[in-house]
Structure 1
Amino acid sequence: MKTVAVLGGGIGGLSAAYYLCKSPQLTKVIVLESSGRFGGWLWSSRRSDGAVFEHGPRGIRPAGPVGHNTLNMVEDLGLEGEILPVSYSHESSKNRYLYVRGQLHRMPSGFSGIFRTVPPFSRPLLFSLAPEILVKKGKEDDESIHSFVSRRLGKELADIAVDSLCRGVFAGDSRKLSLRSCFPPFYKAEQERGSLTLGLLLGSGSTSAVSPGPLAQRSVKESWAQWSLRRGVESLPESLTEFLQQSGKVQLHRETAVKHIEASASGWKVHLEDGLISADHIISALPAKVLSCVLPDSWQTLIQLLQDVSAVTVAVVNLEYDGSILPVKGFGHLIPSSEDPGVLGVVYDSVPFPEHNRPNGETTRLTVMMGGAWFQEVFGAPEAVTAESLLARATEAVSGQLGVTAAPSWSHVALHKDCIPQYYLGHFKRVESMRSFIRKNNLSLSLIGSSYDGVSVNDVIFSGRTAVQEVLAGGV
């Protein structure tokens, strides 16, 4: 019997199981999830009055091979009727803000935006972009994002725009994050074209080909910038779970923590709290540090590499206000670390997805993101922080930064410990070394999920697909 054990029932593990159960080569897939629910960080609250709140990822980008791949899955699961698309012409796509020096500033958008001086920047973007093509190519095999942008586009853009962007995407510090691992297209653009501007305009190298299905083709035709689902993004793992349950090939186990794994003559023995599972192959969708704790002690090289992948804690505070309280309309605003290290940004959820508002009575939904790489220094140890203090900090940010004087009519505080891996300098070498160890020791083990090849929902789903293709090609 050909059996694959999938460790972790987040979106990565569920996606791997989805691709596995479509293959006639496999007769059994076992998914082991330590918590009481599947879906991981994809977590939506649906109130009885119809309102929907996201406690993790919200809008998902449709672009590129990984975006098309996710939409192909959505279509296959029969969710296309649930899609809530947001086009590039929508006000939430065109209007994104920075909160700098105590004021909201709209980011330049469109072609004309690069010719004008737009606060908080001291000169037009053109003055940074034009000389960039003459900047010499970096000589190092990796570089921090802040260093790269300072070198090619100037310190002001690095300190304000890129610092804020990295806080919004990775909840991380641009001075520590790896350009090569966090923004591979930027690294490739410089390496292959000698210029960030030329590389992005002309394209750099080939990417993985994914044939877009009808839904992905529609996203291109209609110029989607992002999308969600009518009942929240958790509908995706819920539909995957239902698909797997009905496949007849997949065993789904909640509240089943993996205690230890060991190689056996026939493959693997997976030790659980109250039993043992045998498998021919393991696909681990566990966070790197969690996986390191269940490996055999003799694999110290791999254990150390996994433990070197850090992750940060983020507080996500959902707020609902009665009436229309926003002074501007857009996707939200980000805050550079120099302005307020504790608050990463505020998302104006009601603007891109008004369908998630309660149907009766006008309301405004916001999400305040806090902490990340600055959590410990601003809030202290996650174990000691109270929900009340996080809520107070979030409402204070909304009041001070958006001028909202009213108190929220509803709130929800979620503390996500170690939720976003940080790809520090040399991350690509660490991941290469991990997979090299696995190959050299001939281990039937695949590493997927946000710890390795990208932190976005699309990246994680695609990592599951890639691993399954490699497993099947190897004839498990």
Structure 2
Amino acid sequence: PMRSVAVLGGGIGGLAAAYYLSRCTRVLVLEGSSRFGGWLWSCRRSDGAVFELGPRGVRPVGAVGRNTLNLVEELGLEPEILPVTYSHVASQNRFLFVRGQLWKMPGGLGGLLRTTPPFSRPLLPWLLREVFVARGKAEDESLHSFVSRRFSSELADIAVDSLCRGVFAGDCRKLSVRACFPDLHRAERSRGSVLLGMLFGSGSKRDVSPGPLAQRAQRERWAQWSLRRGVEALPEALVHHLEQSSTVELHTQAPARGLERTHSGWTIHTEGGELSADHVVSALPAKALGELLPSSCGPLVSLLQQLPYATVAVVNLEYLGSVLPVQGFGHLLPSSEDPGLLGVVYDSVFFPQHNSPDRESTRLTVMMGGAWFQEVFGDPDQVSPDLLLSRAESAVSRHLGIRQSPVWSNVALHRDCIPQYLLGHAQRVEQMRGFISDARLPLSLVGSSYDGVSVNDVIFSGRIAVEKLLEAQK
């Protein structure tokens, strides 16, 4: 029987796994840095303003979205929640910066019927044509190729290119459709068409029944949500909950240095000595896990090391007064416009509750780099925060016509923060889990490196891993 599980990594994936495990076994969480929460990181200023250094809003949609809301409710965070509905201006208006100017993304049937720049023709005919496009032959395909083939190359060049930069900070010509947007891939496989799959469903992974909070989100038509003290309040609430549990031990500044197989599980080498566990849940980045595994796991290690990561610079800016020329969620740029600049988010439009109560201000976040970081800014270790700040300010001035200087700013450089699911990613993850199962390794893979990069995906990956592990114990 399993007496203890070690969770490596105290980001949201590791904390979620520990939460689901804590009901039935002893859990040891080892986090290498000085704080829990990983990329969920909120900067709280003394005047009450909140700036997100990582993800800023969580989508409530699908099984994974309902699962997160159920967790939020179980942790007692419902009074803290800040919802944004679909009717909100931030949900209605999303922009693209193309050919030196801002364009509103077409929405609703009217937007599909008319030609709306930057597109050269209406989108509806492309959508309708898609129903008759034959299924692709390849096992996997890049997003750019998939959308060019099924819709149009213009849609791929502008909209999909921008979207992939906004979501994955990555290049749609290299990212895998099967791994990044599994619903699109499944719809084509099962229904022969993305449109038909979206209309009639295409059989997705297991469902999650909505608790009262998730039901409220459906009823009120939330598009996204955050928490009053920022999204970092979620990992903080998990840590608080786990600290109350008699079965959980939490350690920061306790990086694992190596893993060794024993007859009953693992010996974990740390700076402070050796620990033993019957099972290891790794919520570390794939390459970090690869560095810990013994040489007997060679094939697994080489698969783990094949996963590349993107580095993103996040610059938070605050301007006095209400200075935006448009109201909306923000704008993205295709790589053809400015490869180093991924997009600008208009934070104060959708979460005005995070503004300082003392003054009227506009909060923006500029995202830079991603798959283009090295080529545009050079080595992340050498790049100066001042350079990133001035690039962000000049983008805001150029794109939005905001000429004044910000009254406050923060530059965060996130090294290797988003795994890049390149062609064949899903097959490689299957091979990893195949190796683990064939070698009977007491190891589970959790986190953004494998089954989705969103906050919801990562939390759900922790839950699924725990369910499979407990199932196997029976």
Match of residue 48, structure 2, among 50, 55, 70: 50
- Report if aligned partners of 2:190, 2:197 keep a CA contact under 8 Å in 1: yes
User: Secondary structure of 1:78's partner?
Assistant: coil
The aligned residue for residue 264 of structure 2 is: 266
Check if 1:81 corresponds to 2:82. Answer: no
The runs of 5 or more residues in structure 2 that have no matched partner are none
The aligned residue for residue 348 of structure 2 is: 350
- Read off the aligned partner of 2:46 and give its amino acid letter: S
- Read off the aligned partner of 1:101 and give its amino acid letter: R
Check if 1:429 corresponds to 2:427. Answer: yes
- Report if aligned partners of 2:290, 2:305 keep a CA contact under 8 Å in 1: yes
Check if 1:383 corresponds to 2:381. Answer: yes
The aligned residue for residue 212 of structure 2 is: 214
Match of residue 238, structure 1, among 236, 240, 243: 236
Check if 1:250 corresponds to 2:251. Answer: no
The aligned residue for residue 393 of structure 1 is: 391
What CA distance in whole angstroms lies between the structure 1 residues aligned with 2:300 and 2:269?
Answer: 19
- Read off the aligned partner of 1:377 and give its amino acid letter: E
The aligned residue for residue 442 of structure 1 is: 440
Q: Cα deviation per residue 1:125-167 (whole Å; 9 max; x = unaligned)?
A: 0121121111111001100000000001111000000000000
How big is the alpha-carbon RMSD for the aligned residues of Structure 1 and Structure 2? 0.8
Q: Cα deviation per residue 1:406-433 (whole Å; 9 max; x = unaligned)?
A: 0000000000000000000000110011
The aligned residue for residue 15 of structure 1 is: 16
The structural deviation recorded for 1:352 is 0.6
User: Secondary structure of 1:173's partner?
Assistant: coil
What CA distance in whole angstroms lies between the structure 2 residues aligned with 1:33 and 1:95?
Answer: 39
Aligned length: 473
What CA distance in whole angstroms lies between the structure 2 residues aligned with 1:264 and 1:470?
Answer: 22
Between 47-56 and 202-211, report the one with greater CA deviation. 202-211
What CA distance in whole angstroms lies between the structure 1 residues aligned with 2:109 and 2:386?
Answer: 44
Check if 1:104 corresponds to 2:102. Answer: yes
- Read off the aligned partner of 1:18 and give its amino acid letter: Y
What CA distance in whole angstroms lies between the structure 2 residues aligned with 1:109 and 1:272?
Answer: 53
The aligned residue for residue 331 of structure 1 is: 329
Q: Cα deviation per residue 1:276-335 (whole Å; 9 max; x = unaligned)?
A: 110000000000000000110222111100000111000000000000110000000000
- Read off the aligned partner of 2:316 and give its amino acid letter: N
The aligned residue for residue 146 of structure 2 is: 148
What CA distance in whole angstroms lies between the structure 2 residues aligned with 1:399 and 1:265?
Answer: 62
What CA distance in whole angstroms lies between the structure 2 residues aligned with 1:262 and 1:226?
Answer: 43
What CA distance in whole angstroms lies between the structure 1 residues aligned with 2:204 and 2:233?
Answer: 32
- Read off the aligned partner of 1:96 and give its amino acid letter: R
Give the alignment's TM-score, normalised by structure 2. Answer: 0.99
User: Secondary structure of 1:159's partner?
Assistant: helix
- Read off the aligned partner of 1:218 and give its amino acid letter: R
What CA distance in whole angstroms lies between the structure 2 residues aligned with 1:207 and 1:285?
Answer: 21
- Read off the aligned partner of 1:154 and give its amino acid letter: S
Match of residue 66, structure 1, among 51, 64, 72: 64
Alignment of 1:274-423 (within 5 A): 274-423=272-421
Greater than 6 Å deviation, 4+ residue runs: none
User: Secondary structure of 1:470's partner?
Assistant: helix
What CA distance in whole angstroms lies between the structure 1 residues aligned with 2:200 and 2:236?
Answer: 40
- Read off the aligned partner of 2:10 and give its amino acid letter: G
Q: Percent identity?
A: 66
The aligned residue for residue 38 of structure 2 is: 40
What CA distance in whole angstroms lies between the structure 2 residues aligned with 1:290 and 1:280?
Answer: 20
The structural deviation recorded for 1:379 is 0.1
User: Secondary structure of 1:208's partner?
Assistant: coil
What CA distance in whole angstroms lies between the structure 2 residues aligned with 1:267 and 1:299?
Answer: 14
- Read off the aligned partner of 1:266 and give its amino acid letter: S
- Report if aligned partners of 2:183, 2:204 keep a CA contact under 8 Å in 1: no
Q: Cα deviation per residue 1:369-406 (whole Å; 9 max; x = unaligned)?
A: 00000000000000000101000000010000000000
- Report if aligned partners of 2:285, 2:448 keep a CA contact under 8 Å in 1: yes
What CA distance in whole angstroms lies between the structure 1 residues aligned with 2:209 and 2:185?
Answer: 25
Distance 1:428 1:45, change over 3 A: same
Alignment of 1:125-140 (within 5 A): 125-140=123-138
Alignment of 1:108-187 (within 5 A): 108-187=106-185
- Read off the aligned partner of 1:212 and give its amino acid letter: P
Between 195-204 and 8-17, report the one with greater CA deviation. 195-204
- Report if aligned partners of 2:452, 2:458 keep a CA contact under 8 Å in 1: yes
What CA distance in whole angstroms lies between the structure 2 residues aligned with 1:455 and 1:413?
Answer: 22
The structural deviation recorded for 1:474 is 1.3
User: Secondary structure of 2:336's partner?
Assistant: coil
What CA distance in whole angstroms lies between the structure 2 residues aligned with 1:157 and 1:398?
Answer: 25
The structural deviation recorded for 1:197 is 1.1
The runs of 5 or more residues in structure 1 that have no matched partner are none
User: Secondary structure of 2:349's partner?
Assistant: coil
The aligned residue for residue 199 of structure 1 is: 197
- Report if aligned partners of 2:103, 2:117 keep a CA contact under 8 Å in 1: yes
What CA distance in whole angstroms lies between the structure 1 residues aligned with 2:264 and 2:33?
Answer: 29
Match of residue 227, structure 1, among 222, 225, 228: 225
What CA distance in whole angstroms lies between the structure 2 residues aligned with 1:345 and 1:157?
Answer: 18
Q: Cα deviation per residue 1:193-232 (whole Å; 9 max; x = unaligned)?
A: 1111111111111431111100000000000000000000
- Read off the aligned partner of 1:361 and give its amino acid letter: R
What CA distance in whole angstroms lies between the structure 1 residues aligned with 2:430 and 2:372?
Answer: 28
The structural deviation recorded for 1:235 is 0.1
The aligned residue for residue 6 of structure 1 is: 7
What CA distance in whole angstroms lies between the structure 1 residues aligned with 2:140 and 2:419?
Answer: 18
- Read off the aligned partner of 2:357 and give its amino acid letter: P
